[in-house]
Structure 1
Amino acid sequence: MLMLSKHLPSTRALQCFLAVAQELNFRRAAELLNMSQPPLTRQIQGLEEMLRVRLIERDTQRVSLTPAGLAFKEQASGILLALDAAIGAARATVDDGAVRMGLTSVINHSLMPALHALLADAAFCGGRALERAWSRQLVERVRSGALDLAIVGDIVAPGADLALQALVCEPMILALPETHAAAANAQVDLADVGDLPLFWFARADNPAFYDKCERAFRRLGYAAPRRPEPKDFTQLLAAVAAGEGVALCPQSMRATSRLGVAYRALPPAVERLFSIDVQVVARAHETRAAVLEKIARIHAALAR
């Protein structure tokens, strides 16, 4: 018998609760979901008010699940897994073989010949244009079902509903004004350009890679002042050419030349600290043959 209720939690509320239940830390749970802490807290509070039971105990020292929270965690996880399976079953009945794919705008794949050739193949892409966006946005598009898979850069572990697979490691290089004295060298250490600000992105754009780089900066003793990084790469290069600062960017982006900008390699030991892991993200329980075949071909292309 069909049972309808106006008092059921949203799938987003369940995802928020399960992230906190998994991490037992609101900050890490928020990063896992690519959101800030205040809306995450509101989702948990709204869920508890709807259920009229406390699920999570929280104080300044620790976060823990109540007995009700432990019981709810098991059932909520099963609900989302069942919903994921239902979506897959529904799509399988109308699957035309077309796979919707995204590609991070941070990496210039044209300098990865095998990957570039594959993604330029109309047959491989099924006549569909690749969606280009920031890695964080692409992950959310895969999570929502708007994309089937995406090639992204370093991101925080996306949660149990998505699966990440490593593809290749992309080194970072330094973009600096051609007029700077350090531009005369084939390799440039960050200490050599410490007199200029660093154009840098906001932590919210990619918490995982941001934290990785911050650890590297501290290790190297690099403390140059920061300037907000323009979202448009062309604007960033214009600012570097004008002598307003320096920038770290993926090696493949050096294909975008700009008068007044010099691209220089970092010393090998420093380069390793700032490398970007290029990954493919898809739904964790993906079973469609067409999607799995695309992922396998991407892996095979990069392996060659």
Structure 2
Amino acid sequence: MLMLSKHLPSTRTLQCYLAVAQELNFRRAAELLNMSQPPLSRQIKGLEDMLRVQLIVRDTHRVSLTTAGEAFKEEAYKILLALDLAVAGVKAGLHDDDAAMVRIGLTSVINHSLMPELNALVTDPAFTGGRALERAWSRRLVERVRGGELDLAIVGDIVPPTEDLAVETVGSEPMILVLPASHPAAAKTEVDLAELGATPLFWFSRTDNPAFYDKCERSFRHFGYAAPRRLEPKDFTMLLASVAAGEGVALCPQSMQATSRIGVAYRALPPALARLLSIDVQVVSRAHETRAAVLDKVEAIRTALGAAPSRVTSSARPGLDRLAGPMPDSGR
């Protein structure tokens, strides 16, 4: 049945909406789409006018989705995924080239632009197939690999492997401390947790990431750190604003210090603690993946980051008892 309508959103509009819905931040969404914020805002406004429903709530402090926005987000994903698969299928049939069918996700937690090897890879058209990688929190990407919506994802170590997933560690990144510039410890280049005293730590709920939460608690206990906790904001810029206001301290990946903020100081942790809190950069794919195109992408990532093969599934989990794990990203 032929459907011709002037009242359907374009694929570009859907991409704009999904970028905002994914990032919950218009600036980051615009950067992801290689556009400026004003036309992005116009795309969202035009979509809401077309649908005659509010999808996004935006104020000076945060961006959130309405109930209708959450529902439309899932439907928009399905539409673009179906179109993506249709196009990839045609290309594969015409050129016998399934590389274009590899759908890749990249965590928005780690600032890959400050990791030269990773940045060179994910910006190389030969690796991406000329298509933008999907950016989202690690937990969301893992869910989409599990659901068959992505073929693989580069994430901050977030969950132990399960029966349906394979996880391979390809690198790591140290955690650093974020503290108010006015804090006495900010005068040092390296700060021990004991020097923070009773200053609250912005932290995440255990339900968001049990593995990392438990690993950190073991590390904190080992170093005698028992500061009060405050639930961290979902948006990193909001977190920095809270730290700058003197409301607490936080931990973040070293690469995130590129996000500057007046009133905030980034400081290194002692080497022993930094090693315990390092973030494993991992590739997640389906456990029994056999497609050469997907396995070739994993090999390309491994080679670029200089990693030795360490593919792990739930039936073989060496080293999972060690103190290592993902960053506290509320499911990033």
TM-score, reference length from structure 1? 0.67
Alignment-derived partner of residue 111 in structure 1: 114
Alignment-derived partner of residue 77 in structure 1: none
Question: What secondary structure, in the 3-state scheme, does the structure 2 residue paired with 1:295 have?
Answer: helix
* TM-superposed deviation, 1:277: 1.0
In the alignment, structure 1 residue 247 sits paired with structure 2 residue 250: yes
8 A contact 1:254–1:263 mirrored in 2: yes
Alignment-derived partner of residue 172 in structure 2: 169
* TM-superposed deviation, 1:226: 0.5
Alignment-derived partner of residue 97 in structure 1: 99
In the alignment, structure 1 residue 270 sits paired with structure 2 residue 273: yes
* TM-superposed deviation, 1:153: 1.4
Measured in 1, the distance between the counterparts of 2:130 and 2:157 equals 28
8 A contact 2:98–2:293 mirrored in 1: no
* Greater radius of gyration (CA): 1
* TM-superposed deviation, 1:209: 1.0
* TM-superposed deviation, 1:206: 1.5
Structure 1 residues 213-240: Cα deviation after superposition (integer angstroms, max 9, x where no partner): 0111111111111011111101001111
Measured in 1, the distance between the counterparts of 2:150 and 2:133 equals 10
Measured in 2, the distance between the counterparts of 1:217 and 1:154 equals 19
* Structure 1 residue ranges, 4+ long, deviating more than 4 angstroms after superposition: none
What is the identity, as a one-letter code, of the residue corresponding to 2:208? D
Measured in 1, the distance between the counterparts of 2:287 and 2:154 equals 15
Question: What secondary structure, in the 3-state scheme, does the structure 1 residue paired with 2:177 have?
Answer: strand
What is the identity, as a one-letter code, of the residue corresponding to 2:233? P
Pick from 152, 157, 161: which aligns with 2:160?
Answer: 157
Measured in 2, the distance between the counterparts of 1:278 and 1:194 equals 31
Sequence identity (%): 74
Alignment-derived partner of residue 233 in structure 1: 236
What is the identity, as a one-letter code, of the residue corresponding to 1:117? A
8 A contact 1:154–1:208 mirrored in 2: no
Alignment-derived partner of residue 329 in structure 2: none
Question: What secondary structure, in the 3-state scheme, does the structure 1 residue paired with 2:284 have?
Answer: strand
Question: What secondary structure, in the 3-state scheme, does the structure 1 residue paired with 2:145 have?
Answer: helix
TM-score, reference length from structure 2? 0.62
Measured in 2, the distance between the counterparts of 1:202 and 1:298 equals 31
8 A contact 2:174–2:277 mirrored in 1: yes
* TM-superposed deviation, 1:155: 2.1
> CA-atom RMSD, angstroms?
1.8
8 A contact 2:240–2:261 mirrored in 1: yes
Structure 1 residues 264-295: Cα deviation after superposition (integer angstroms, max 9, x where no partner): 00011111121111110001111111111111
Question: What secondary structure, in the 3-state scheme, does the structure 2 residue paired with 1:141 have?
Answer: helix
Alignment-derived partner of residue 298 in structure 2: 295
Alignment-derived partner of residue 144 in structure 1: 147
Measured in 2, the distance between the counterparts of 1:227 and 1:284 equals 37
Alignment-derived partner of residue 17 in structure 1: none
Structure 1 residues 99-138: Cα deviation after superposition (integer angstroms, max 9, x where no partner): 1111112111111101101101123111221111221111
8 A contact 2:176–2:274 mirrored in 1: yes
Question: What secondary structure, in the 3-state scheme, does the structure 2 residue paired with 1:254 have?
Answer: helix
What is the 5 A alignment of 1:32-71? none
In the alignment of these two chains, the number of paired residues is: 214
Measured in 1, the distance between the counterparts of 2:166 and 2:253 equals 24
In the alignment, structure 1 residue 222 sits paired with structure 2 residue 225: yes
Question: What secondary structure, in the 3-state scheme, does the structure 2 residue paired with 1:227 have?
Answer: strand
| Unpaired segments ≥5 residues, structure 1 | 1-90
Alignment-derived partner of residue 30 in structure 1: none
* TM-superposed deviation, 1:259: 1.0
Alignment-derived partner of residue 34 in structure 2: none
